């Protein structure tokens, strides 16, 4: 009788045992990284211009970065010198011509889409315990965290395809001078380039392999290097901060960021408004832009009509205006928590999109999953335009 069947059976049994033992050993050791859906097909965009080693101002900045952050001067010079200009970054950072007015409804529709809301539900249900812990630890509602990650990277699917080193170097040395804030933005990106090199050196990571947005933001929550250094946290307890592959670190870091920017637990983000046109002082109300400035008494004395919750608000308010193209603008009364969201991105359109995406995901979830928000998530009411009281939105 041939021995082949016995050998085959022996090998089969051995493979079966290995399939059982290896996962058990992995489970007993370091826990696996949390999985997420990601666009892995995105081609890395690298610089195509001349290397910055030939630019004297680049080498001067390299020396300053080395001294400021205690880095090896030769390493910084070599790294910065190998960075290259990315023409597409210059194009994207340049403000487009104001050929058409801004349109909140169009902007909103980019994020309040069925597919993104469904992705948010999946993300919430998968990471419910992490959201609950982050909300409990930092006092930030789960739906705000959900809104941020959903708007920034579609829940980790689109984290950027530019080589961060090239993007930051481009904006540090070739920021478009036609930009109205060119000097300030150039200084900002030069500082971010230094923070990026310091981060990569401390982590022992290759600075040429980091991917991000055209502005140099990285990871699931799209943190700039300075924000990564100041606010990112090791929320999965593995001894390092990783906003690229650790969903836990991303969730905890978003909550950490908002607590550092004075998020106030339990405070609504905004209230709907109507106008008393006989007393309305629109010029004074809009002068501070999105910064909460007016106590409720002064706010209402200048012609703003608030509902019951708005009248009881204890802090300052801002009249936030959002253009709707050729139609009448939309308005809300923004609180200090609304302003906190704009610290992530200086835009009232962005802040309201974050809020409303988080609300939409929360409303679509089964009740048991809403327990992830252990802090009352008072994000105010839905968007209000100039409508009669009978047509006012309903608060959740």
d(CA 206, CA 202): 11
Q: How many structural domains does the chain have?
A: 1
Confirm if 351 and 388 have CB atoms less than 8 A apart.
Answer: no
Nearest by Cα to 52 from 70, 42, 67, 65:
65
Weakest mean pLDDT among 95-109, 201-215, 260-274, 338-352 = 95-109
Amino acid 178: pLDDT = 86
Catalytic residue among 143, 152, 195, 274: 152
Mean pLDDT of the 63-79 span: 98
Tokens read off for 375: 């802090």
Amino acid 111: pLDDT = 97
Amino acid 131: pLDDT = 98
Mean pLDDT of the 71-81 span: 98
Tokens read off for 317: 């308010």
How many Cβ atoms are within 10 Å of 206's Cβ, its own excluded?
Answer: 10
- Upper half-sphere CA count for residue 312 (Cβ side, 13 Å): 6
Q: Is 257 helix (H, G, I), strand (E, B) or coil?
A: helix
d(CA 369, CA 291): 33
Largest CA distance in the chain: 105
Q: Is residue 150 part of a domain?
A: no
Mean pLDDT of the 379-395 span: 34
Amino acid 388: pLDDT = 27
Amino acid 96: pLDDT = 79
CATH number at residue 202: 1.10.8.350
Q: Is residue 75 part of a domain?
A: yes
Amino acid 39: pLDDT = 52
Q: Is residue 132 part of a domain?
A: no
Q: Is residue 58 part of a domain?
A: yes
Inter-axis angle of helices 247-260 and 142-153, nearest 10: 110
Amino acid 6: pLDDT = 52
Q: What are the helix (H) ranges across the chain?
A: 4-28, 56-69, 73-82, 87-93, 104-111, 114-126, 128-138, 142-153, 164-173, 182-203, 225-231, 247-260, 282-286, 296-301, 308-311, 336-342, 348-364
Confirm if 153 and 344 have CB atoms less than 8 A apart.
Answer: no
Amino acid 23: pLDDT = 42
Q: Is residue 149 part of a domain?
A: no
Amino acid 335: pLDDT = 98
Q: Is residue 286 part of a domain?
A: no
User: Model confidence over 285-309: pLDDT tens digits?
Assistant: 999 999 999 999 999 999 999 999 9
User: Model confidence over 10-66: pLDDT tens digits?
Assistant: 455 544 444 444 343 343 333 334 444 455 446 899 999 899 999 999 999 999 999
Average pLDDT, the chain: 87
Range of the domain at 86: 33-99+162-210
Amino acid 367: pLDDT = 80
Which residue's structure tokens are 């327990």? 371
Mean pLDDT of the 332-344 span: 98
| Residues in Cβ contact with 148 at an 8 Å cutoff, skipping those fewer than 6 apart | 221, 254, 341, 344, 354, 358
Q: Is 330 helix (H, G, I), strand (E, B) or coil?
A: strand
Q: Is residue 43 part of a domain?
A: yes
Q: Is residue 69 part of a domain?
A: yes
Is 129 annotated as catalytic? no
């Amino acid at each position: 009788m041939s021995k082949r069947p016995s050998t085959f059976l022996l090998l089969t049994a051995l493979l079966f045992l290995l399939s059982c033992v290896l996962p058990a050993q992995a489970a007993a050791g370091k826990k696996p990284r949390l999985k997420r859906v990601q666009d892995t097909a995105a081609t890395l965009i690298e610089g195509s211009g001349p290397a910055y080693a030939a630019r004297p101002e680049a080498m001067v900045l390299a020396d300053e970065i080395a001294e400021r952050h205690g880095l090896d001067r030769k390493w910084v010079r070599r790294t910065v010198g190998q960075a290259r200009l990315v023409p597409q970054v210059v194009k994207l950072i340049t403000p487009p011509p104001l050929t058409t007015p801004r349109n909140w409804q169009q902007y909103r529709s980019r994020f309040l889409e069925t597919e993104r809301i469904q992705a948010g539900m999946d993300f919430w249900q998968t990471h419910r315990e992490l959201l609950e812990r982050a909300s409990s630890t930092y006092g930030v509602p789960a739906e705000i965290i959900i809104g941020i990650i959903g708007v920034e990277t579609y829940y980790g699917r689109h984290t950027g395809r530019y080589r961060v080193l090239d993007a930051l170097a481009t904006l540090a040395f070739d920021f478009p001078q036609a930009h109205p804030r060119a000097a300030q933005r150039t200084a900002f990106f030069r500082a971010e380039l230094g923070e990026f090199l310091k981060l990569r050196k401390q982590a022992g990571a290759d600075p040429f392999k980091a991917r991000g947005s055209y502005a140099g933001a990285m990871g699931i929550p799209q943190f700039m290097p300075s924000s990564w250094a100041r606010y990112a946290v090791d929320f999965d307890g593995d001894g390092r901060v990783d906003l690229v592959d650790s969903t836990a670190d991303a969730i905890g870091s978003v909550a950490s960021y908002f607590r550092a920017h004075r998020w106030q637990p339990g405070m609504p983000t905004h209230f709907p408004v109507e106008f008393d046109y006989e007393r309305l002082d629109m010029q004074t109300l809009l002068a501070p832009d999105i910064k909460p400035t007016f106590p409720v008494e002064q706010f209402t004395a200048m012609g703003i009509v608030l509902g019951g919750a708005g009248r009881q608000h204890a802090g300052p308010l801002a009249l936030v205006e959002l253009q709707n193209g050729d139609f009448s603008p939309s308005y809300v009364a923004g609180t200090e928590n609304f302003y906190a969201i704009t610290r992530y991105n200086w835009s009232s359109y962005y802040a309201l999109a974050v809020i409303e995406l988080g609300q939409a995901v929360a409303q679509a979830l089964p009740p048991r999953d809403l327990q992830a928000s252990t802090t009352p998530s008072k994000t105010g009411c839905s968007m209000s335009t100039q409508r009669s009281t009978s047509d006012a939105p309903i608060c959740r």
